[in-house]
Amino acid sequence: MATSGWFLTLTLALVSVLPLCVAFSAESPTDRRILVLVDDLSIRSSHSIFFDSLKSRGFDLDFKLADDKRLALQRYGKYLYDGLILFSPSIKSFGGSLNTAAVLDFVDSGHDLILSADETASDLIRDIAIECGIDFDEDQSSVVIDHISYAVSEKEGDHTLIASDDFIRSDVILGEKKIEAPVLFRGIGHSLNAANSLVLKVLSASPSAYSANPNSELSSPPSLTGTAISLVSVVQARNNARIVISGSLDLFSNRYEKSGNEQFVTELSKWVFHERGHLKAVNVKHNKAGEKAEPAMYRINDDLEYSVEIYEWSGTSWKPYVADDVQVQFYMMSPYVLRTLSHDQKGRYSTSFKVPDVYGVFQFKVEYQKLGYTSLSLSKQIPVRPYKHNEYERFIKAAYPYYGASFSMHHLSVPQIAGQSSIYLLSSDRTNFLWNFDFEKQISEL
Amino acid sequence: MARDLWSLVLIFLFFSACAATTFRPISDGHRSAASELFVPIDGSYGSLEDTYEALRTVQILKIDRNIDINPHTCPVVSEILEDSSSQTKDVYYALGVNSILGCHIDSGIYEAVISRLQSVIKGAKSLYDFYYSIKGLLVIKDQGISVVLEDAGDAFHSIKALSQSGGRWRFSSNDAESSTYAAGLALEALAGVVSLADSDIDQSMIGIVKNDIRKLFDSIESYDDGALYFDEKFDAEHQSPLSTSASVVRGLTAFAAVTSGRLKIPGDEILGLANFFLSIGIPGTTKDFYNQIESLVCLEDNRLAVPLILSLPTAVLSSTSNDQLKVKVTTVLGSDSPPLTVKLVQASRLDSKSSPVLAHQELKFDPESSFHSLDILPTSMDVGKYLFVFEISLHDPEHKHVCATGGQIQAFIYYTGLIKIESAEIAVLDSDVDAVETKQNLDLSKDNVVSLSADHLQKIILSFQLTTPLGHAFKPHQVFLKLRHETKVEHIFVLKNSGKLFEIKLDLLALVEKFYYLSGKYDIELAVGDISMENSFLKSLGHIDLQLPEPSEKASHPPVPLLDPYSQFGPKPEISHIFRAPEKRPPQELSYAFLAAALLPFLGFLIGLMRLGVNLKNFPSAALPATFSILFHAGIAGVLILYLLFWLKLDLFTTLKFLSFLGIFLVFAGHRTLSQHASASAKQKSA
């Protein structure tokens, strides 16, 4: 009885989990279920514009306090969420089964993360950021100050609410529409780990900014100054998991009305939750010029055609991807041929080239990496053979003298055995054959 | 001694000043946000609860409703009120919506609703039943229909029976947990009972409830900025601090309004609660918006203490535009305060230990703009960050009991001005004698294009003076000298001051290690900035060519620069395979000429044969030898044709296959022909 009860619970759990697995798939890469961890549930209200824009785009937000005892990202080995928003900068340790390792595992399994810190950022939040290649200013009391490009605020005059419009130049991350108004930022700065090539600065501070404690006098130079300060950064991992890290939680709030914040965070959230810049490649084809079928192998110097179809996810459907920098390599240890593919505006990319005169096992390789887009890595193995013995050219003009000579000698020498014998046989005795005659004569002389 | 005491006081003030935040009353920002947030979709705000909250908020904020929602909402309201089986909660909200919209409801329906709600109260078990039915009756009473609650004393006792220690309430008698949110509901319900009662409620019971309220205030919590709030201990209801505090405030003010005698709640706590609601700013959700506005309207006019909010239109005052210090005192919803005077108790600089710059000044009241203002004399106040302490004193002694002003109110003021930058110069010194080699004056109001050069035995010296508008020394927070090498390696130095003079001496010999022995062009930038400096700047001074020694083997390498995200990606240069060149071949004509030459001997051979008189006279005439001879010669012709085919088309294997058959045939036919030939010639010889 107990066993059947247990079985029933398990089945129920599986049934409830199953639709979640369907939510995030290769065919529809946008995230659906998002866990939002907050320090204080009032963030739901103070950041409602951001959350409402997510909800209106079809996301299912699950708000939880970061120290909730029942927190879990996965159950029975299945992740319950496709994305995680950490709006809990001051949390010392998460509740439930969540910890730094669990968050990183979540990202490592291809899920997305928005992490927002502020001047109260705890070591836990800083550690997660460090694992993503982002180092917040080590001085816990420092904030980003800018005495030149600051926002004039009615309430405060300490120049910690800074205005920045130094965005990354990427339509895929920040949308095609230019962000006209500067973004207002109050929080802590960070620097990027130079060894990490996956992390990108999306919003940088102005050259006059610095990161320091506004209430104490500076005795030594601040560790972060100028445009080296990153305010908002993104990471796209090799498994296409996307991360946004911001040093300001207020950036996402409703508070700054006449700023570019709303557009900035909305566009950024579209990117991080895979509503944009997610590519897929289908119908990889190659064949000999003028043929349709894909051969099992090519011969050196064959002319071949290669084509692939690339589509970009628009949040609701796959749209043809149009770019002029998709390249294919014909690769064996190193690329022998590297071609830029031409496209037909409908997502079909193609090129044609001659197989090199080197035989071996080659690969067609497409290694497409573009700022902000998911990377495409396609490879297809194909052997290349040399000419067969009967595939060389049969008559060489330059060899005609040799042909002629051998024909001529054939009739002068070989017929001595065959042809001449017939002449010998068929001619009358009296006019015996010249060479035989001589031959016999020579013999008789001997 | 007195001086030390002052500094102690100032330090204390500084730390308490962290709590000094002035709050702003409800303003036009709220109204525009509300008119964006409360927008009916298809002529309706959704459920009746949402509709009531939306209508109430819009009503309090006096926003025009552009869209008439009556056609959609009124039918729903009358349906709920006519249906005798509808929930008490729905009935309450329907009545509430009706009171604002004024739908046409028959008086007969009201009678039915009243008797229905009365019977609910009699048999009520849970707090919600009491709350919604009593509130519903109150709404009907407010519309001018006489409602009398019989057995009010019993209802009062039943609600009071749910109260717990610590001033909290239970939702129903079955609940074990007590809730602060429920306390608010209960107080409101009790207030309703008192105002609906036909006879007076036992004053001792009211006294007990008053005592409960005081206990409830023991559990009040506070934020750093001085805002006070109630939080829910009982988690099952998921109430936020805002909804809990809103519930308590509604209950408290309603209860205070109906009972005689004062509730002993300090005015500061009421002000703290008001500050809490104001500190939320503009809420993003309709529920929070309603809770905030409804609570503030309760506080706006209550019998306990009307909180007065002192707010500053700006925290930044500029000395260049001779800004006046302006202060406004209003109620929480932004309406005018009773006549009062605002006093500046004192104003002191945060970063100095000297005595306050201003003390005991009375602010002038301008009835037109309703601002209290003070001219700050530039002679008395220099630029910097100040802590201002205000005090409100009410003119009418009556009001002193009614209003909560919060005693001394602290606010930070940033007093800004233009800083004079003078005698800026940069020089290169020879190290051992400190003799000036090159020296250039700088104009820091614009970018400079100084071009210097130095080697590692020299020193660079940069100096300038900063003075405040009053001629005092000024020490900005940010005084950085930045040297940037061509390879983007940056070095930042903080300039130290002695009085007005800022100077930095860079001894290059000591810095070579820090500079990673990188010789070449360094750009020089100077950044000076402060919160009270209106002309903060970041200027390029030009560049300097440094000749540094070659690095030693142990020298550290400069940091790896960040990858450029734009060049990191993007297309690679195309690669085309270079095919092996075909072998060189002679021209065709040459081949033909040599072909002709090679065929000449064969031609000679044919001519020779002709000359010899080749004939076929010896061909055997007898049938059998002739047949074999023909077959033999046909075989030879076959082999020759096979040769030709081999040359033109066939490969070696096919040729050999055919040749093996032909060869066997040829051997056989040849043997017969030759043997016959031999016998024929032997016959001839013997003949």
Give me the mean pLDDT over the B539-566 stretch.
Answer: 83
Nearest to A74 by CA among A96, A43, A46: A96
pLDDT bucket at A284, cuts 50 / 70 / 90: very high
Alpha carbon distance B548, A158 (integer Å): 41
Question: How much is the pLDDT for A439?
Answer: 38
Contacts 24+ apart (CB under 8 A), A293-298: A296/A383, A297/A382, A297/A383, A297/A384, A297/A385, A298/A355, A298/A362, A298/A382, A298/A383, A298/A384, A298/A385
Question: How much is the pLDDT for B110?
Answer: 84
C-alpha of A416 from chain center: 76
Q: What is the DSSP string of A275-317?
A: SSSEEEEEEEEEEETT--SPPS-EETT-EEEEEEEEEEE-SSS
Which of these CATH numbers, 2.60.40, 3.20.20, 1.20.1070, 1.10.150, describes B420-554?
A: 2.60.40
Task: Tell whether A301 lies on the interface with B, counting CB pairs under 8 A.
Answer: yes
H helix or E strand, kind and range, residue A201? strand A199-204
The tally of CA atoms less than 13 A away on the side-chain side of residue A294 is: 11
Task: Tell whether A414 lies on the interface with B, counting CB pairs under 8 A.
Answer: no
- What percentage of chain A carries pLDDT values higher than 70? 85
Q: What is the pLDDT of residues A141-158, one digit of tens each?
A: 899 999 998 888 767 778
Task: State the complex-level ipTM.
Answer: 0.77
Q: What is the DSSP string of A234-268?
A: EEE-TT--EEEEES-SGGGSS--TTSSHHHHHHHH
Are the beta carbons of A147 and B315 separated by less than 8 Å?
Answer: no
Instruction: Specify the higher pLDDT residue, B172 or A14.
Output: B172
Alpha carbon distance B328, B409 (integer Å): 13
Of B615, B633, B648, the CB nearest to A428: B615
Least confident of A320-334, B62-76, B589-603: B62-76
Other Cβ atoms less than 10 A from the Cβ of B225: the count is: 15
Are the beta carbons of B575 and A338 separated by less than 8 Å?
Answer: yes
Please, what CATH class does the domain formed by A278-389 belong to?
Answer: mainly beta
Other Cβ atoms less than 10 A from the Cβ of A27: the count is: 8
- CA-CA-CA-CA torsion sign (B496, B499, B502, B503): negative
Alpha carbon distance B532, B385 (integer Å): 7
Q: How does DSSP classify residue B397? A: H
Segments making up each domain of chain B, as ranges? 2-8+312-416, 23-308, 420-554, 622-682
Are the beta carbons of B592 and A400 separated by less than 8 Å?
Answer: yes
Q: How does DSSP classify residue A424? A: H
Question: How much is the pLDDT for A25?
Answer: 60
Please name the residues between 610 and 649 in chain B that touch chain A, using a CB distance below 8 Å.
Answer: 612-619, 629, 632-633, 636, 639, 643, 647-648
Q: What is the pLDDT of residues B231-280, one digit of tens each?
A: 887 665 577 888 889 999 999 898 888 887 777 788 888 888 998 998 88
Which tokens is B597 given?
Answer: 């030459």
CB-CB neighbors (< 8 A) of B585 in chain A:
396-398
Question: How much is the pLDDT for A410?
Answer: 67
Backbone angles phi, psi at B387, to 5 degrees: -110, 120
Are the beta carbons of A338 and B573 separated by less than 8 Å?
Answer: yes
Q: How does DSSP classify residue B514? A: T
Task: Tell whether B572 lies on the interface with A, counting CB pairs under 8 A.
Answer: yes
- Radius of gyration, CA atoms only, chain A: 37
Instruction: Specify the higher pLDDT residue, B44 or A411.
Output: B44
Segments making up each domain of chain A, as ranges? 16-272, 278-389, 393-445
Are the beta carbons of A45 and B283 separated by less than 8 Å?
Answer: yes
Question: How much is the pLDDT for A101?
Answer: 93
Distance from CA of A3 to the nearest CA of B (A): 32
At residue A341, the 3 state secondary structure works out as coil
Helix B203-218, helix B180-196: angle, nearest 10 = 160
Does residue A84 contact residue A114 with C-beta atoms inside 8 Å?
yes
What residue has token string 């109906």?
B258
Does residue B514 contact residue B546 with C-beta atoms inside 8 Å?
no
Question: How much is the pLDDT for A415?
Answer: 47
For an interface test with B, give the residue of A425, A429, A432, A438 to mutate (most B CBs within 10 A).
Answer: A425
Helix B203-218, helix B241-258: angle, nearest 10 = 150
Question: How much is the pLDDT for A413?
Answer: 56
Task: Tell whether B281 lies on the interface with A, counting CB pairs under 8 A.
Answer: yes
Provide the terminal-to-terminal Cα distance of chain A, rounded to the nearest Å. Answer: 123
Other Cβ atoms less than 10 A from the Cβ of B442: the count is: 21
C-alpha of B611 from chain center: 111
For an interface test with A, give the residue of B312, B412, B595, B607 to mutate (most A CBs within 10 A).
Answer: B595
Question: How much is the pLDDT for B21?
Answer: 61
Name the pairing type of β-strands B450-455 and B537-547. Answer: parallel
Which residues sit opposite B539 in a β-bridge? B526
Please name the residues between 44 and 103 in chain A that touch chain B, using a CB distance below 8 Å.
Answer: 44-49, 51-52
Give burial (CB, 10 Å; 0-12/13-18/19+) of B465: middle
- What percentage of chain B carries pLDDT values higher than 90? 9
Of A208, A214, A337, the CB nearest to B477: A214
H helix or E strand, kind and range, residue A354? strand A348-354
Alpha carbon distance A242, A84 (integer Å): 11
Give me the mean pLDDT over the A334-342 stretch.
Answer: 93
CA angle B178, B182, B183 (to 5 degrees): 90
Tell me: domain B2-8+312-416, CATH 2.60.40, correct? Answer: yes
Tell me: domain A16-272, CATH 1.10.3680, correct? Answer: no
Does residue B318 contact residue B348 with C-beta atoms inside 8 Å?
no
Other Cβ atoms less than 10 A from the Cβ of B249: the count is: 28
- Determine the residue of chain A that is closest to B242 in CA distance: A42
Scored b (16 or more CB within 10 A) or e, B148-185 reads ebeebbebbebbbebbbeebbbbbeeebeebbbbbbbb
Q: What is the pLDDT of residues A216-241, one digit of tens each?
A: 888 888 989 988 999 999 999 988 89
Question: How much is the pLDDT for A26?
Answer: 65
Residue-averaged pLDDT of chain B? 83
Same fold, B23-308 and B420-554: no
Which tokens is A224 given?
Answer: 């972060």
Backbone angles phi, psi at B328, to 5 degrees: -125, 135
pLDDT bucket at A423, cuts 50 / 70 / 90: low
Please name the residues between 334 and 363 in chain A that touch chain B, using a CB distance below 8 Å.
Answer: 335-340, 353-354, 356-358
Sequence-distant (6+) residues with CB within 8 A of B581 are none
- Radius of gyration, CA atoms only, chain B: 53
Are the beta carbons of B280 and A45 separated by less than 8 Å?
Answer: yes
Which residues sit opposite B479 in a β-bridge? B528
Question: How much is the pLDDT for A258?
Answer: 79
Nearest to B306 by CA among B389, B398, B373: B398
Of B478, B591, B617, the CB nearest to A400: B591
Distance from CA of B399 to the nearest CA of A (A): 29
Span B23-308 CATH architecture? Alpha/alpha barrel (1.50)
Alpha carbon distance A113, A100 (integer Å): 13
- Highest mean pLDDT, choosing among A94-108, B122-136, B348-362: A94-108
Task: Tell whether A407 lies on the interface with B, counting CB pairs under 8 A.
Answer: yes
Which residues sit opposite B366 in a β-bridge? B371
Task: Tell whether B288 lies on the interface with A, counting CB pairs under 8 A.
Answer: yes
CB-CB neighbors (< 8 A) of A398 in chain B:
585-586, 588, 591
Of B568, B588, B594, the CB nearest to A197: B568
Question: How much is the pLDDT for A411?
Answer: 65
Question: How much is the pLDDT for A333?
Answer: 93
Question: How much is the pLDDT for B234?
Answer: 65
Does residue B268 contact residue B276 with C-beta atoms inside 8 Å?
no
Question: How much is the pLDDT for A11?
Answer: 37
Distance from CA of A20 to the nearest CA of B (A): 26
Cβ–Cβ pairs < 8 A, chains A and B: 229
Question: How much is the pLDDT for A2?
Answer: 39
CA angle A109, A199, A86 (to 5 degrees): 60
At residue A11, the 3 state secondary structure works out as helix
Question: How much is the pLDDT for A37?
Answer: 94
Alpha carbon distance A407, A403 (integer Å): 6
Q: What is the DSSP string of B648-686?
A: HT--HHHHHHHHHHHHHHHHHHHHHHHHHHHHHHHHHHH
pLDDT bucket at B663, cuts 50 / 70 / 90: very high
Give me the mean pLDDT over the B192-196 stretch.
Answer: 86
Least confident of A21-30, B253-262, B522-531: A21-30
Q: What is the pLDDT of residues A32-59, one digit of tens each?
A: 899 999 988 888 888 989 999 999 998 9
Of A159, A354, A399, the CB nearest to B531: A159
What residue has token string 């008797």?
B115
Are the beta carbons of B283 and A220 separated by less than 8 Å?
Answer: no
pLDDT bucket at A262, cuts 50 / 70 / 90: very high
Categorise residue B468: left if φ over 0, alpha if ψ from -120 to 50, beta otherwise: beta
Q: What is the DSSP string of B305-339?
A: -EEEEEE-S-SEEETTTTPEEEEEEEETTSPBPPS
Which tokens is A109 given?
Answer: 């399994």
CA angle B646, B647, B648 (to 5 degrees): 95
CA angle A29, A35, A37 (to 5 degrees): 145
Other Cβ atoms less than 10 A from the Cβ of B584: the count is: 6
Question: Is residue B166 pLDDT above 90, yes or no?
Answer: no
Question: Is residue A418 pLDDT above 80, yes or no?
Answer: no
Question: Is residue B6 pLDDT above 60, yes or no?
Answer: no
Please name the residues between 197 and 216 in chain A that touch chain B, using a CB distance below 8 Å.
Answer: 197, 200-201, 207-208, 210, 212, 214
Of A220, A337, A431, the CB nearest to B575: A337
pTM > 0.90: yes or no: no
Please name the residues between 46 and 105 in chain B that touch chain A, using a CB distance below 8 Å.
Answer: none
Task: Tell whether B652 lies on the interface with A, counting CB pairs under 8 A.
Answer: no
Question: How much is the pLDDT for B11?
Answer: 36
Nearest to A199 by CA among A252, A163, A238, A247: A238
Sequence-distant (6+) residues with CB within 8 A of A151 are A161, A162, A163, A182, A184, A256, A259
The alpha-helical segments, DSSP class H, found in B325-469 are 397-402
Provide the terminal-to-terminal Cα distance of chain B, rounded to the nearest Å. Answer: 169
- Determine the residue of chain B that is closest to A219 in CA distance: B494
Categorise residue B166: left if φ over 0, alpha if ψ from -120 to 50, beta otherwise: left
Give burial (CB, 10 Å; 0-12/13-18/19+) of B232: buried
Other Cβ atoms less than 10 A from the Cβ of B609: the count is: 16
Please name the residues between 13 and 52 in chain A that touch chain B, using a CB distance below 8 Å.
Answer: 41-42, 44-49, 51-52
Are the beta carbons of B315 and A197 separated by less than 8 Å?
Answer: no
